[in-house]
């Protein structure tokens, strides 16, 4: 009767149970570190994107407010210019009317 047994080939050295446990613990720790680094990177990217969005919205609002103020200033300047032009034309009309009325119909100055 022949004995049949399990032969072991010592080609690959097997880890002990403790070494295997330590290996898997180190792998889990590395995965946790990598996961934490990924979360921090994502948090930084999202925070930067949000800050950029806030800055852009503030810039847009500031530009709109500046345009409103400039338009109001232009309107006031146009109104003031129109009032000055109206006053100047009234002065010109008054000066023209007084010079023709002071000479009379004969063209001789009678104011003296």
Position 60 scores a pLDDT of 97
pLDDT digits (tens, 9 = 90+) for 37-72: 999 999 999 999 999 999 999 999 999 999 999 999
On whether the pTM is more than 0.85, the answer is no
Percentage, residues of the chain above pLDDT 90: 68
Expressed in percent and rounded to 5, the helix, strand and coil fractions of the chain are 80, 0, 20
pLDDT digits (tens, 9 = 90+) for 59-106: 999 999 999 999 999 999 999 999 999 999 999 888 888 776 655 555
Dihedral angle of Cα 51, 52, 53, 57, to the nearest 10 degrees: 100
What is the token pair recorded at 8?
Answer: 């072991």
**C-alpha–C-alpha distance, residues 16 and 18, integer Å:** 5
Position 10 scores a pLDDT of 67
């Amino acid at each position: 009767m022949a004995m049949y047994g399990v032969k072991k080939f010592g080609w690959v050295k097997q880890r002990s149970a403790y070494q295997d446990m330590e290996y898997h613990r180190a792998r889990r720790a590395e995965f946790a570190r990598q996961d934490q680094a990924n979360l921090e990177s994502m948090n930084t990217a999202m925070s930067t994107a949000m800050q950029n969005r806030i800055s852009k919205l503030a810039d847009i609002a500031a530009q709109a407010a500046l345009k409103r103020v400039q338009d109001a200033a232009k309107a006031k300047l146009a109104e003031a210019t129109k009032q000055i032009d109206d006053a100047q034309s009234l002065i010109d009309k008054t000066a023209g009317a007084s010079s023709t009325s002071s000479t009379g119909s004969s063209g001789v100055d009678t104011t003296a």
